[in-house]
A and B are shown apart, each in its own frame.
Chain A
Amino acid sequence: MSALLELAGVRYRYPGATRDAVAGVSLSVAARQFHAVLGPNGSGKTTLVRIALGALSPLEGRAVIDGQPAAGWARRALARIVGVVPQREDNLFPQRVRETVLLGRYAHLSLWGRERPEDHAAVDRALAACDIAQLGDRWVWSLSGGEYQRVRVARALAQEPRLLVLDEPGMSLDLKHEMGLFELVRALVDSQGLAVLMITHDLNLAARFADSLLLLNDGRPVASGPPAGVLTQEIVETVFSWPVAMQTIDGRPQMVPLRQPKESPV
C-alpha cells in the first residue's frame, strides 16, 4: 500500500539555533493506520509535524504527501487531503457549532460561490461521526472541553481528508473525554479508512490505541514500530529519565511511573 505521508531522513534546524530540532527521522503513514509521535517536551514532535504538513521545509531528507513534496502543496489543495486539529486556536467572534464545522468546507468552495447541499451534507456526516449532531446549534463558548475537541475533530472531518493530524488532542481533558476522543479517532481509522498521525504526551493511551509509535528524544528517533517494541522499560526510562514499571493490558504495554527512592534525589 502506498503511503499517504512519507518522511525520509528529515533534518531541520530553526534559523539561528545551534542544534537540529529534528534529524534523521523517517515515518510512513498509510490509510487505515494510526501513528502516534511520542517524546519528552522539546523533543521535536511539533517540528516534525510542521515538516510533515509542509509548513517547514526539511534541510535534508524528503517530506512527501500523496506523491508530492509537502512544502510544494497549495494550502487549499492540501486542505482537501489533510485535516489538522492544531493544539490551540482562538475564538475571536462568537460562533455556533455548525458554523465553525462549516469552515472546514472552505477548501471545497469556489471564490464567490455559496455553500452547496453537499457541503451541508459533509457537515452533517462529520457531526454524526463525532457523535455531536445534537450540539449543532450550541454556541462554541458554551461547550465543555471534551465537546469542543470533538467539534474541532468534526471540522477537520468536514474537509473530507484522507489523513487526519492531531496535536495533543487529549490535553486538559478528563478521563472520560480523553478515552472518548481516542475511541473516536480509532473508530474513524477502522470505519472510514482514515490515516491518522497524532502527537501526544500520553504513552499509555498511544500504546492502547495506535498501530505504530515513533518515540523522539532530542530530535532523534529512539524507537519506532508496534507499541510492544517501542515502550520497553529500558527505552522509556532512558528517554524520560525516570524509573518505570511495565505491564501489559489487552496485549499492549502500559507504563507505571515509580516513586524515586529518597536517598537518590534527581
Chain B
Amino acid sequence: MKWALLAVATIGALVASVALGPAAVPLGDLFRSDIVWNLRAPRALLAFLVGGSLGVAGASLQALVRNPLADPFLLGLSGGAGLGAVLAIALHISGPWALPIAAFVGALAALGLVYRMGLIGGAALDPRILLLGGVAVGAFAAAITTAIVSLADAAELRNAFLWLWGGLSGASWDSVLLVALYAPIPLIVLFAASRPLDLLALGEEPAGYLGADVAGVKRRVYLAASLLTAAAVAVSGVIGFVGLVVPHIARLAWGHHHRALLPAAFLGGGALLAIADTVARTVVAPRELPVGVVTALIGVPVFTLLLRRWTVP
C-alpha cells in the first residue's frame, strides 16, 4: 500500500515536472514539444536521479555515523565542491563541463581529506572523526571560497552564489546519461550494505559479533555515499535537506530496516526534488529560484517538526 502510494507520488512528480513550466504547452502537444523533450524531460529525470541519490546517501550516512541528524553535505563535500566551482569561475575556465568537473574534483579532494582524517584513530574509520573532520574541511573550504568570492567582480559573484545554492538549469540528456551510468554503482554498493547497516545501529562491537565486517562496511558505505553525493553536487550544486529530511520521512513509514528504507529514500528523494525543481522554475517565472532555496524552505520546517518528534518521546 505505501509502496503503491510512493509509486503514484513518484510518477505524479515526474509528470507534473514535465507538464508544468513557464511556457504553456498544450497537454495534447506534450510529446511533440521541443521544450518538453529537450528541456523539461531531461531536467525532470536529472532532478529525480539527484534527489534519489541524495536520499540514499543521507539514509546510509545517518546509519554510518550513527547520528540521525547527519546530512550528506555535512561531511565536507559541499565545501569542497563549492570551492572547486568557484575556483573554476574565478579562473575563467570555461566549457560546458568546466563547472561540474571542477565541483566534482573539489568534492573528491574534500572526500579524500576527510577519509584520511577518519583513519587517524587507526585502521577502523572512526565515524566521530569523520563528522568532525567533515565539518572542519567544509569550514576551511568555505573560508577559501569566501575569500575568492570577495575578490571576484559582481557578475562572477552572482554566478558563484547561485551555483552554491544549487540548480538544475544545466540539465541535458548528456548529464542525465552520465548520472544514470554513474549512480547505479554506488547505489548497488549501498543497497548491498543494507543488513550490515541495520546491525551497525546496535554499535560497532555488537555488529561485529553478529557477523558484520564492520571496518569494510564503514569504508564501503562512506566511499559510496560520498561518491554519490559528489556526483550530485557536480551536476546540480549543493541541494540541502533532501538527504536529511527524506530518510526521516521514509523511516516514519518504512521503519529503519535499510532493505526497505534505502529504496524508499531513493524514490522519495527523487519525487521531492522533481517537485521542488518544478516549484523553483515556475513560482517566479520567467526567472528561477535556486532549487536549494526551495528544498530548504520545505525542509527546515519539516526538519523542525521531526526534531520535536525525536526529542519528545
Task: Give A114's nearest chain B residue, CB to CB.
Answer: B259
User: Inside 8 A of A17's CB, which chain B residues have their CB?
Assistant: none
Interface centre among B68, B212, B213 (most CB of A within 10 A): B212
Q: Flag the segment in B77-85, B107-115, B191-199, B272-280 that touches A.
A: B191-199
Task: Give A87's nearest chain B residue, CB to CB.
Answer: B205
B203 touches A106 (CB 8 A): no
Number of B positions contacting A (CB below 8 A): 24
A95 touches B210 (CB 8 A): no
A106 touches B195 (CB 8 A): yes
User: Inside 8 A of A75's CB, which chain B residues have their CB?
Assistant: 208, 211-214
CA distance A111 to B193 in the complex (A): 9
User: Inside 8 A of A84's CB, which chain B residues have their CB?
Assistant: 206, 209
Bitwise interface map of B from 186 to 225 toward A, beta carbon under 8 Å scored 1, else 0: 0000001001101101110110111111100000000000
B201 touches A93 (CB 8 A): yes
**Which among A90, A104, A111 is the interface contact of B210 at CB below 8 angstroms?**
A104
- The answer to the question of A179 belonging to the interface, with a C-beta cut-off of 8 Å to chain B, is no
CA distance A138 to B257 in the complex (A): 17
Q: Given contacts A89-B203, A103-B198, A103-B199, are A74 and B213 in contact (CB under 8 A)? A: yes
Which residues of B are in contact with A by a Cβ distance under 8 Å? 63, 66, 68, 192, 195-196, 198-199, 201-203, 205-206, 208-214, 251, 255-257
Name 8 extra pairs, CB < 8 A, besides A88-B203, A89-B205: A76-B211, A90-B201, A90-B203, A103-B202, A106-B195, A106-B211, A106-B212, A107-B211
Between-chain CB contacts (< 8 Å), 27 pairs: A53-B209, A55-B208, A74-B213, A76-B213, A78-B211, A79-B211, A83-B209, A84-B206, A89-B202, A89-B203, A89-B205, A90-B201, A92-B66, A92-B68, A92-B201, A93-B68, A93-B256, A95-B256, A103-B202, A103-B210, A104-B210, A106-B196, A106-B198, A106-B211, A107-B210, A155-B210, A159-B211
